[in-house]
A and B are shown apart, each in its own frame.
Chain A
């Protein structure tokens, strides 16, 4: 892999709204991200903060009543949001691929997995069916399933969760994408399998030089395997930086709160900290800083004025009124 300085993917001021009868749900409201080459970029946040919608927006898989309202998604110098649908289809799977949260549901129940894995190479490279099948068997071996020849003929319902997720990974890396979006790839799996799947993803990343956008709410995973991290809250990025910086010195009160929620075994804390309150309604978010109703440092300014992302230290940005000036 030749190192090119330009980032692989830049998301600028992305806004994805859902037009519901109750009002406009601003699932993603002005998110900016930068994903470098060959890195693990983590996107963390609570359930419902817009992580998955951000990922789906990058793939342009937002459907009615959702709509990408504004922003740029620059991939390798091309603005994905301006591409016609037919061109976008060529990007999906071949350049950017996505693994979904529940491997139970993301495989087609009526075809064996070999058939499904061979699908993408057929679509993108016009590979003859026999070659595609051979490639599928090879990929099944690559994702470390035993007996790839036999496994290729298995139907999804006979496979375990871990096996299915491996099949999904095989399916998604079949065209060697440069960016793999993994939307909570391990949430539905048990802990030992989680580690195996993450190791597998990282190994593939190392070998092929692709980048991984890891969406998760598992901070342990981020700390161990991530390079850069962005913390989202209510449709906005509140803090972004390298994993080391963010973990050593969390700036935003929300990030600190999240990190405080992790039980630390050896300290024998009697109670786990938590952030009071719930995620605000994305239809009617609080004015000013969206976190202020739950923030113990909230001041008047926080209620009135929306904080912008400012740079604190090298490549470490935060959107909070506590900093700056």
Chain B
């Protein structure tokens, strides 16, 4: 195992510039770290559920069967049924689609806005920094729910609206952390050295600063992803997000909350899946960060 990892790493290092072949080796290498391997398997598994939901799920997620409501887990309904007799297993499987969509899109938007503004603010001191920081503080102080309400008022309720609302209220956490990280780096001599060989500001930001903060971004992203999934729960609960019968895990969790004693399986299974998804992404992020840390290479 160790030697395979070693030879893979060595092979990985011999590529001087980026390429497709490098990506393949990167994936192979990822599988040789235990944590990231488990993480990758979980994420792949969830993605598999999401993509093949119509095939995997025994029933359609909206199929109501009131006489069979609140059945405990059995062979016919592996996760039991909910208050309307819908098969929870099918709903959980379809829910993976929403969870992944919400999580990935929110993180993507957040990371994009947050990182770019963070790097700009950290790199340029003075006025630009002040403006961006003030903007971040302003947005940070704005309650997500109120903003979501506004967005929903304008374009109607739905998952996409919630995604937008969450993404545009929570990027400041990215910006602040990235800004601090960049500020600690911008006075390091290698940035000065980059300037002294005539690199442009944009180049320094993209080719010198960004690769150095990629591990921070990854960790932040993996931390944000589960919280984005949870945030949709709150908004779905208030009726802004997933509209019934959409099988949002968060919405299912809140539906089952009142039935927790009578029918614990209603809330438990979506909850378990939220935990597993969050764990999977965290492990994967951890593994990626380790892999991207040059200190682990030679």
A residues adjacent to B (C-beta < 8 A): 59, 61, 63-64, 89-94, 97-98, 100-102, 105-112, 114-115, 119-120, 123-124, 129, 133, 152-155, 157-158, 168, 171-172, 174-175
Q: Is the CB of A120 within 8 A of B294?
A: no
Question: How many angstroms between the C-alpha atoms of A115 and B15 in the bound complex?
Answer: 10
Is A119's CB under 8 angstroms from B199's CB? yes
> Which chain B residue shows the least CB distance to A102?
B189
**Do A155 and B16 touch across chains, with their CB atoms under 8 A apart?**
no
Q: Which residues of B contact A155 (CB under 8 A)?
A: 294-295, 297-298
CB distance from A94 to the nearest CB of B (A): 6
Of B161-169, B190-198, B229-237, B258-266, which binds chain A? B190-198
**Given A98-B196, A123-B198, do A107 and B298 touch, yes or no (CB 8 Å)?**
no
> Which listed residue (B16, B199, B211) contacts A152, Cβ 8 A?
B16
Q: Report whether A91 and B195 are in contact in the complex, using a CB–CB cutoff of 8 Å.
A: no
| A16, B295: Cα distance in complex, Å | 38
Contact of A153 among B16, B208, B295 (CB under 8 A): B16
Given A92-B197, A108-B190, output 8 extra A-B contacts at Cβ < 8 Å.
Answer: A61-B192, A61-B195, A107-B193, A108-B211, A109-B294, A123-B203, A171-B193, A172-B196
CB-CB under 8 A for A157 and B196, given A106-B190, A108-B208: no
CB-CB under 8 A from B74, the residues of chain A are none
Q: How far is the CB of B104 from chain A (nearest CB, A)?
A: 25
Which residues of B are in contact with A by a Cβ distance under 8 Å?
13-14, 16-17, 125-126, 188-190, 192-200, 203, 207-208, 211-212, 214, 292, 294-295, 297-298
In the assembly, what is the distance between CA of A158 and CA of B294, in Å?
10
* Chain A residues in 8 Å Cβ range of B196: 59, 61, 92-93, 97-98, 172
Chain A residues whose CB sits within 8 angstroms of the CB of B208 once the complex forms? 108
What separation, in Å, do the CA atoms of A284 and B47 have in the docked complex? 66
Please tell me if the beta carbons of B197 and A120 are within 8 angstroms of each other in the complex: yes
Flag if B298 contacts A154 (CB, 8 Å): yes
Q: B298, A110: Cβ atoms under 8 Å? A: no
Give the distance in Å from the alpha carbon of A40 to the alpha carbon of B297 in the complex: 39
Q: Determine the distance from Cα of A124 to Cα of B214 in the docked complex, in whole angstroms.
A: 27
Taking a contact as CB atoms closer than 8 A, the residue among A107, A112, A119 that contacts B197 in the complex is A119
Q: A115–B190 Cα gap in the complex (Å)?
A: 14
Q: Which residue of B lies closest to A181 (CB)?
A: B196
Bound CA–CA A154/B297 (angstroms):
9
Q: Chain A nearest CB: distance from B105 CB in Å?
A: 28
Q: Which residue of A lies closest to B191 (CB)?
A: A108
State whether A108 touches B194 (Cβ < 8 A).
yes
A52 to chain B, nearest CB (A): 11
Verify B198–A94 contact, CB threshold 8 A: yes
Interface contact A107-B190, CB-CB below 8 Å:
yes
Give the shortest distance, in Å, between A75 (CB) and chain B (any CB). Answer: 14
CB pair B188–A105 under 8 Å, yes or no, is yes
In the bound complex, how far is the Cα of B198 from the Cα of A171, in angstroms? 12
Q: For B211, what are the chain A residues with a Cβ–Cβ distance below 8 Å?
A: 108, 110-111
| B198, B200, B298: most-surrounded residue (chain A CB, <10 A) | B198
Contact pick for B193, options A63, A90, A129, A168, CB 8 Å: A168
Report the 4 A-B pairs with minimum CB-CB distance, sorted nearest first: A93-B197, A93-B198, A106-B189, A92-B198
Smallest CB gap from B293: residue in A: A110
Contact partners of B192 in chain A: CB under 8 A: 61, 100, 106
Contact B197 A171 (CB under 8 A): yes
Q: How far is the CA of A115 from the CA of B208 in the complex (A)?
A: 12
Give min CB distance, B233 to chain A, whole Å.
37
Q: B125 to A64, Cβ gap below 8 A?
A: yes
**CB-nearest residue of chain A relative to B10?**
A153
* A174 neighbours in B (Cβ, 8 Å): 197
Residue of A nearest to B16 (CB): A133
Report whether A157 and B295 are in contact in the complex, using a CB–CB cutoff of 8 Å: yes
From B125, B126, B189, B200, contact of A105 by CB (8 A): B189
| Closest chain B residue, CB of each to CB of A105 | B189
Cross-chain pairs A/B with CB under 8 angstroms, 19 sampled: A59-B196, A89-B200, A91-B198, A92-B198, A93-B198, A97-B196, A98-B196, A105-B189, A105-B190, A106-B193, A108-B194, A109-B212, A111-B294, A112-B13, A119-B197, A155-B294, A155-B297, A171-B197, A172-B196
The answer for the CA separation of A4 and B222 in the assembled complex, in Å, is: 61
Decide: A100 and B193 in contact? CB cutoff 8 A: yes
Contacts of A108 in B (CB 8 A): 190, 194, 208, 211-212
Residue among A105, A110, A115 with most chain B CB within 10 A: A110
